[in-house]
C-alpha cells in the first residue's frame, strides 16, 4: 500500500511538471483571424454550448449553418449571428438527429449552402433527466434513443463530412463529456453514449494520425457548463445534495472559445473547464476509485 501511495505521488509530481512545462510555459497563441471566412456547421445550435459557438464564430468572421429541432430558437440564433456579423451570412436547418439518415442529409445541405465545409462541430446531445436504471422496457427504449442521437448520428455525420473536410484540410470537433471518461450515477444511457463517442473517435483519431490525414479531429471532454439544461438535470434530482448546485460551472462563452481554440490549433483532446481539477479526478479514479465512490455517495445519496 505504501509503495502504491508513493507511486501515485510520483505520478502527481510528474503531472504537475508536464502541466507547467507544456500548458503554462508553452501555451499556444490562438489567432482568431484564422476563423475569418471559415464555413462552419454546428449541430445542437439552438441553445447552450451550440448557441455560444454560433455567436463566437460569427464574431470572428466565420459563416455558420446551425441545426437543431426547434425552428423558432434557430431563427433567433441566426438573426443574432447576422447582427453580430453585420450582414446576412448565416442560416439554419431544422433536423431531428434521432433520424440517423436525416443527419447525413444535414451535412450535404450545409455543404451546398456554404460551398464546402471547413469545420464540422458535432455538439448535439440528448441529456435525459437523472433516474435509477432498472432494465425496464422504458429504460431500454430510452437507451436506444440516446444511442441513436448521441452516438450513431455523430458517426454518420462525421463519415459524411470526411470528403469535404479532406478537400479543405478541415477540422472535425466532437463535443463529448467528462462522462466519457468518468461514470456518474443515475445517467446510465447518457454515460454509455459518451464512452462510445470517446472510444470511436479516439480510435479514429489514431487512424488519421497513422494515415497522415489532413483532417484534424478534436474530442472535447467537458465538465459542468453553465447552461439551463445542465442546471435543470443536476439540480432537480431528489437525491442530489447542495454540492452540485454550488459546483463551479464553466462560463458557456469561455467554453465555446476554448473549443474553437483547441480545434483550430489541431489539439486531439480538450478537457475543460477546470482542466487541472478534472485531470486530477481521472488520476484519482485510476488509483483510488473508492474516493470517487465516496464522493458520489455524498452528492447523490439520500
Catalytic residues: 190
DSSP bridge partners of 171: 119, 216
In angstroms, the CA 63 to CA 68 distance is 17
List phi, psi (to 5°) of 39: -100, 115
Cα 195–Cα 198–Cα 199 angle in degrees, nearest 5 = 85
Mapping DSSP to helix (H, G, I), strand (E, B) and coil, where does residue 286 land?
helix
Return the SS3 of 211.
coil
Inter-helix orientation angle 2-18/275-287, to 10°: 160
SS3 216: strand
Q: Are 85 and 58 in contact (CB under 8 A)?
A: yes
Q: Rounded to the nearest 5°, which phi and psi values hold at 289?
A: -60, -25
CA–CA separation, 68 and 133 (whole Å): 28
Tell me how far apart the terminal alpha carbons of the chain are, to the nearest angstrom: 32
Tell me whether strands 39-43 and 171-177 are parallel, antiparallel or unpaired: unpaired
Amino acid at each position: 500500500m505504501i509503495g502504491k501511495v508513493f507511486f501515485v505521488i510520483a505520478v502527481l509530481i510528474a503531472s504537475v511538471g508536464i502541466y507547467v512545462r507544456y500548458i503554462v510555459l508553452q501555451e499556444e497563441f490562438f489567432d482568431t483571424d484564422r476563423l475569418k471566412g471559415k464555413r462552419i456547421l454546428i449541430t445542437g445550435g439552438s441553445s447552450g454550448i451550440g448557441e455560444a459557438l454560433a455567436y463566437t464564430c460569427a464574431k470572428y468572421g466565420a459563416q455558420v449553418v446551425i441545426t437543431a429541432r426547434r425552428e423558432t430558437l434557430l431563427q433567433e440564433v441566426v438573426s443574432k449571428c447576422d447582427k453580430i456579423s453585420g450582414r446576412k451570412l448565416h442560416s439554419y436547418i431544422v433536423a431531428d438527429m434521432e433520424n440517423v439518415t436525416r443527419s447525413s442529409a444535414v451535412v450535404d445541405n450545409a455543404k451546398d449552402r456554404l460551398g464546402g465545409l471547413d469545420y464540422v462541430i458535432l455538439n448535439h446531445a440528448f441529456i435525459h433527466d437523472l433516474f435509477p436504471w432498472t432494465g425496464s422496457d422504458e429504460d431500454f427504449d430510452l437507451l436506444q434513443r440516446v444511442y441513436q442521437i448521441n452516438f450513431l448520428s455523430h458517426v454518420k455525420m462525421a463519415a459524411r463530412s470526411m470528403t469535404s473536410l479532406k478537400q479543405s484540410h478541415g477540422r472535425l470537433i466532437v463535443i463529448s463529456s467528462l462522462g466519457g471518461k468518468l461514470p456518474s450515477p443515475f445517467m446510465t444511457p447518457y454515460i454509455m453514449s459518451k464512452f462510445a463517442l470517446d472510444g470511436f473517435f479516439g480510435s479514429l483519431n489514431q487512424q488519421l494520425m497513422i494515415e497522415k490525414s489532413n483532417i484534424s479531429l478534436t474530442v472535447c471532454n467537458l465538465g459542468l457548463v453553465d447552461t439551463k439544461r445542465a442546471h435543470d438535470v443536476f439540480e432537480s434530482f431528489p437525491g442530489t445534495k447542495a454540492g452540485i448546485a454550488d459546483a463551479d460551472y464553466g462560463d458557456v462563452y469561455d467554453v465555446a472559445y476554448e473549443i474553437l481554440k483547441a480545434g483550430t490549433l489541431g489539439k486531439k483532446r480538450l478537457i475543460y473547464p477546470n482542466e487541472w481539477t478534472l485531470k486530477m479526478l481521472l488520476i484519482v479514479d485510476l488509483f483510488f476509485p473508492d474516493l470517487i465512490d465516496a464522493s458520489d455517495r455524498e452528492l447523490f445519496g439520500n
